[in-house]
Amino acid sequence: MRNNTIFYRVLKLDKYIYGELVTEKSSLQKGIAIWLSGSIISTLAVTTFLKNLVIYVKEIISVSSAELPQEAVLEFQTLIIEIEESFESINNVSTLISSQLFGFINVFISVAIIYAALKYFFKKEPNLIFIGIIYGFSSVPILLNIPILFFNSIALQGIVLLVTSVFSLVCLGSGLKQVYMLRNIEAILLILFSGFSSLVVL
């Protein structure tokens, strides 16, 4: 299958796409590439959103400084400076690489948790590679965060980030449901459990 066809079918929640993807030899490599691309884009998009949010807060503080206590204004300004300095470190290539490594560890833990839940709780016969493929291709919606890097509307950036994040989880649930014949509630519980458990482990 061509990549644009795959992306279109994933985004429209095609009922058979994941079942086809897990049978293709090149799907794991493609899934990893999609996840990595999405992770980098997401990191940059979130950073852009937060930078614009900080600028907006600075403008509010500047306008309201006469009405606020001087100590509070100084504390806000110090906090903003620290946040801006942390943003600068994200633009560093080594920091970006380390954040992706951390993200990969988080994904590996999530995949392992999904595998264990499918095997021991739902009594299925899961395959780690299949779950990895599903996880990778469910990141396709995250690629839609690219426009965030090119416009400055905080509200629109926040909406795009929220929609793509939720839709990525929907795609993950759809993939697990297709391949392992889960009910909707089972897929939802599995995603919530894996996400919560990976956060606890980290």
Distance CA 12, CA 3 (A): 14
For the stretch 22-61, pLDDT in tens is: 999 899 999 999 999 999 999 889 888 988 888 888 888 7
What percentage of the chain has pLDDT greater than the value 70? 93
Q: Which two tokens stand for residue 201?
A: 């482990």
For the stretch 54-89, pLDDT in tens is: 888 888 877 777 777 777 778 877 887 777 777 666
More confident residue, 152 or 141: 141
pTM, two decimals, is 0.87
Distance CA 173, CA 21 (A): 15
Q: Which residue type, as a one-letter code, is found at position 12?
A: K
The pLDDT, as a whole number, for residue 124 is 94
The pLDDT, as a whole number, for residue 202 is 47
